[in-house]
Chain A
Amino acid sequence: MRIGFYPGCSLEGSSKEYSDSLFAVAEKCGIMLEEIKDWSCCGASAAHNLNHDLALALPARTLALAEKQGFEEVVIPCAACYSRIAGTKQEISNNVATRKKIERYIDLTLEADIKILTVFEFLQKYIFPVADGHIVNKLNQKTACYYGCLYSRPKETAALEQIENPMEMDKVMVKAGATPIDWAFKTECCGAGFTMSRTDIVAKLSGKIIEDAADRGAESIIVACPMCHVNLDMRRPEIKKQLNKEINLPVLFITQALGLSMGIPADQLGLNKHYVPTDKVVTCIVKKEA
Chain B
Amino acid sequence: MARIGVFICHCGENISATVDVAKVAEKAGKLSGVAYSVDYKYMCSDPGQTLIIDAIKEHKLTGIVVASCSPRMHEGTFRKAAEKAGINPYFCEMANIREQVSWVHPKSDATTQKALDIVRTMVEKVKKNTALTPIKVPITKTALVIGGGIAGIQAALDIANAGHSVIMVEKKPSIGGHMSQLSETFPTLDCSQCILTPRMVEVAQHPNITLYTYAEVEKVTGFVGNFEVTIRMKAKSVDHSKCTGCGTCWQKCPSKKIPDEFNEGMGFRTAIYSPFPQAVPNKPVIDRDHCNYFQKGKCGVCQKICPAGAIDYEVQDEFLDVKVGAIITATGFDLKHADFFPEYGYGQFKDVIDGMMFERLASASGPTAGEIRRPSDGKIPEKIVFVACAGSRDKAKGIEYCSKICCMYTAKHAMLYKHKKHDGDAYVFYMDIRAAGKDYDEFVRRAIEEDDVHYIRGRVSRIYEKNGKLIVKGVDTLMNGDPVEIEADMVVLATAVIANQDAETVAQRMHISYNKHHFFAEAHPKLRPVETNTAGIMLAGACQGAKDIPETVSQASASASKAIGLFSSNEMTREPIVAVVNRQAPPNFTSCTGCMLCMEVCPYHAIEREEMKDRTGNLIKVAVKVNAGLCQGCGTCVAMCRNKSIDLQGFSNDQMLSEVMALLNS
Give the B-binding residues of A (Cβ under 8 A). 155, 162-165, 183-184, 188, 212, 215
B466 in contact with A164 (CB, 8 Å): no
Q: Is B642 an interface residue (CB 8 A)?
A: no
B464 in contact with A165 (CB, 8 Å): no
Instruction: Enumerate B442-467 residues with CB–CB distance to A below 8 Å.
Output: 462, 464-466
A184 in contact with B342 (CB, 8 Å): no
A residues less than 8 Å from B343 (CB atoms) = 164-165
Chain A proximity of B493: nearest CB distance (Å): 14
A155 in contact with B342 (CB, 8 Å): no
Q: How far is the CA of A155 from the CA of B342 in the complex (A)?
A: 15
B342 in contact with A188 (CB, 8 Å): no
Q: Is B341 an interface residue (CB 8 A)?
A: yes
Chain B proximity of A52: nearest CB distance (Å): 22
A215 in contact with B466 (CB, 8 Å): yes
Q: Is B491 an interface residue (CB 8 A)?
A: no
B464 in contact with A162 (CB, 8 Å): no
B residues less than 8 Å from A183 (CB atoms) = 464
Q: How far is the CA of A164 from the CA of B462 in the complex (A)?
A: 9
Q: Which of B341, B395, B465 is in CB contact (< 8 Å) with A164?
A: B341
B396 in contact with A155 (CB, 8 Å): yes
A162 in contact with B396 (CB, 8 Å): no
A188 in contact with B466 (CB, 8 Å): no
B462 in contact with A188 (CB, 8 Å): yes
A164 in contact with B342 (CB, 8 Å): yes
Q: Can you list the 6 inter-chain pairs with the closest CB atoms, starting with the nearest?
A: A184-B464, A165-B342, A164-B343, A164-B342, A155-B396, A162-B342
A residues less than 8 Å from B464 (CB atoms) = 183-184, 212
B residues less than 8 Å from A162 (CB atoms) = 342
Q: Is B357 an interface residue (CB 8 A)?
A: no
Chain B proximity of A155: nearest CB distance (Å): 5
Q: Which of B395, B396, B462 is in CB contact (< 8 Å) with A184?
A: B462
B residues less than 8 Å from A165 (CB atoms) = 342-343
Chain B proximity of A237: nearest CB distance (Å): 24
Chain B proximity of A204: nearest CB distance (Å): 10
B residues less than 8 Å from A188 (CB atoms) = 462
Q: How far is the CA of A183 from the CA of B471 in the complex (A)?
A: 12
Instruction: Enumerate B466-519 residues with CB–CB distance to A below 8 Å.
Output: 466, 471
Given A163-B396, A183-B464, 13 more contacts at CB 8 Å? A155-B395, A155-B396, A164-B342, A164-B343, A165-B342, A165-B343, A184-B462, A184-B464, A184-B465, A184-B471, A188-B462, A212-B464, A215-B466
Chain B proximity of A26: nearest CB distance (Å): 32
Q: How far is the CA of A165 from the CA of B462 in the complex (A)?
A: 10
B residues less than 8 Å from A215 (CB atoms) = 466
Closest residue of chain A to B348, judged by CB?
A: A182
Q: How far is the CA of A163 from the CA of B471 in the complex (A)?
A: 20
Q: How far is the CA of A188 from the CA of B343 in the complex (A)?
A: 11
User: From DSSP, what is the main secondary structure of chain A's interface residues?
Assistant: loop
Instruction: Enumerate B323-339 residues with CB–CB distance to A below 8 Å.
Output: none
Q: How far is the CA of A216 from the CA of B25 in the complex (A)?
A: 88
Chain A proximity of B118: nearest CB distance (Å): 38
Q: List 19 A-B contacts (CB under 8 A).
A: A155-B395, A155-B396, A162-B342, A163-B396, A164-B341, A164-B342, A164-B343, A165-B342, A165-B343, A183-B464, A184-B462, A184-B464, A184-B465, A184-B466, A184-B471, A188-B462, A212-B464, A212-B466, A215-B466
Interface residues on B, range: 10 to 19
A residues less than 8 Å from B471 (CB atoms) = 184
Q: How far is the CA of A275 from the CA of B129 in the complex (A)?
A: 90
A residues less than 8 Å from B396 (CB atoms) = 155, 163
Q: How far is the CA of A264 from the CA of B464 in the complex (A)?
A: 37
Chain A proximity of B504: nearest CB distance (Å): 25
Closest residue of chain A to B467, judged by CB?
A: A215
Q: How far is the CA of A188 from the CA of B395 in the complex (A)?
A: 20
A residues less than 8 Å from B395 (CB atoms) = 155
Q: How far is the CA of A183 from the CA of B343 in the complex (A)?
A: 11
B residues less than 8 Å from A212 (CB atoms) = 464, 466
B residues less than 8 Å from A164 (CB atoms) = 341-343
A residues less than 8 Å from B341 (CB atoms) = 164
Q: How far is the CA of A212 from the CA of B466 in the complex (A)?
A: 9
Chain B proximity of A147: nearest CB distance (Å): 13
Q: How far is the CA of A155 from the CA of B462 in the complex (A)?
A: 17
Q: How far is the CA of A184 from the CA of B344 in the complex (A)?
A: 10
Q: How far is the CA of A134 from the CA of B395 in the complex (A)?
A: 43
Q: How far is the CA of A183 from the CA of B396 in the complex (A)?
A: 22
Instruction: Enumerate B69-109 residues with CB–CB distance to A below 8 Å.
Output: none
Q: How far is the CA of A184 from the CA of B461 in the complex (A)?
A: 11
Q: How far is the CA of A212 from the CA of B396 in the complex (A)?
A: 27
Q: How far is the CA of A15 from the CA of B243 in the complex (A)?
A: 76
Q: How far is the CA of A88 from the CA of B566 in the complex (A)?
A: 58
Chain B proximity of A186: nearest CB distance (Å): 9
Closest residue of chain B to A155, judged by CB?
A: B396
Q: How far is the CA of A165 from the CA of B471 in the complex (A)?
A: 17
Chain B proximity of A191: nearest CB distance (Å): 13
Chain B proximity of A156: nearest CB distance (Å): 9
Could you mark each residue 395-438 of chain B with 1 if its beta carbon is under 8 Å from any beta carbon of chain A, else 0? 11000000000000000000000000000000000000000000
**Which of B341, B395, B462, B466 gathers the greatest number of chain A CB atoms within 10 Å?**
B462
Chain A proximity of B532: nearest CB distance (Å): 34
Chain A proximity of B451: nearest CB distance (Å): 31
B residues less than 8 Å from A155 (CB atoms) = 395-396
Chain A proximity of B332: nearest CB distance (Å): 29
Chain A proximity of B80: nearest CB distance (Å): 53
Q: How far is the CA of A163 from the CA of B340 in the complex (A)?
A: 11
Q: How far is the CA of A162 from the CA of B341 in the complex (A)?
A: 10
Q: How far is the CA of A215 from the CA of B467 in the complex (A)?
A: 10
Closest residue of chain A to B343, judged by CB?
A: A164
Q: How far is the CA of A215 from the CA of B462 in the complex (A)?
A: 18
A residues less than 8 Å from B342 (CB atoms) = 162, 164-165
Chain A proximity of B623: nearest CB distance (Å): 50
Instruction: Enumerate B358-401 residues with CB–CB distance to A below 8 Å.
Output: 395-396
Q: How far is the CA of A183 from the CA of B464 in the complex (A)?
A: 8
B residues less than 8 Å from A163 (CB atoms) = 396
Chain B proximity of A168: nearest CB distance (Å): 14
Q: How far is the CA of A282 from the CA of B15 in the complex (A)?
A: 87
Q: How far is the CA of A212 from the CA of B464 in the complex (A)?
A: 11
Closest residue of chain B to A184, judged by CB?
A: B464
Q: How far is the CA of A278 from the CA of B162 in the complex (A)?
A: 82
Chain B proximity of A157: nearest CB distance (Å): 12
Q: How far is the CA of A278 from the CA of B189 in the complex (A)?
A: 61
**Which of A155, A164, A183, A215 gathers the greatest number of chain B CB atoms within 10 Å?**
A164
Closest residue of chain A to B463, judged by CB?
A: A184
Closest residue of chain B to A162, judged by CB?
A: B342
Chain B proximity of A166: nearest CB distance (Å): 9
Chain A proximity of B637: nearest CB distance (Å): 39
Q: How far is the CA of A215 from the CA of B465 in the complex (A)?
A: 12
**Which of B464, B465, B466 gathers the greatest number of chain A CB atoms within 10 Å?**
B464
Chain A proximity of B482: nearest CB distance (Å): 13
Closest residue of chain B to A165, judged by CB?
A: B342
Q: How far is the CA of A286 from the CA of B354 in the complex (A)?
A: 45
Closest residue of chain A to B395, judged by CB?
A: A155
Q: How far is the CA of A267 from the CA of B466 in the complex (A)?
A: 37
A residues less than 8 Å from B466 (CB atoms) = 184, 212, 215
Chain A proximity of B395: nearest CB distance (Å): 8
Chain A proximity of B183: nearest CB distance (Å): 30
Chain B proximity of A263: nearest CB distance (Å): 35
Chain B proximity of A131: nearest CB distance (Å): 27
Q: How far is the CA of A162 from the CA of B396 in the complex (A)?
A: 11
Q: How far is the CA of A163 from the CA of B341 in the complex (A)?
A: 10
Chain B proximity of A290: nearest CB distance (Å): 36
Q: How far is the CA of A148 from the CA of B343 in the complex (A)?
A: 14
Closest residue of chain B to A204, judged by CB?
A: B483
Chain A proximity of B337: nearest CB distance (Å): 16
Q: How far is the CA of A227 from the CA of B638 in the complex (A)?
A: 65
Q: How far is the CA of A85 from the CA of B465 in the complex (A)?
A: 36
Q: How far is the CA of A164 from the CA of B397 in the complex (A)?
A: 11
Q: How far is the CA of A212 from the CA of B485 in the complex (A)?
A: 15
Q: How far is the CA of A165 from the CA of B340 in the complex (A)?
A: 11
Chain B proximity of A104: nearest CB distance (Å): 33
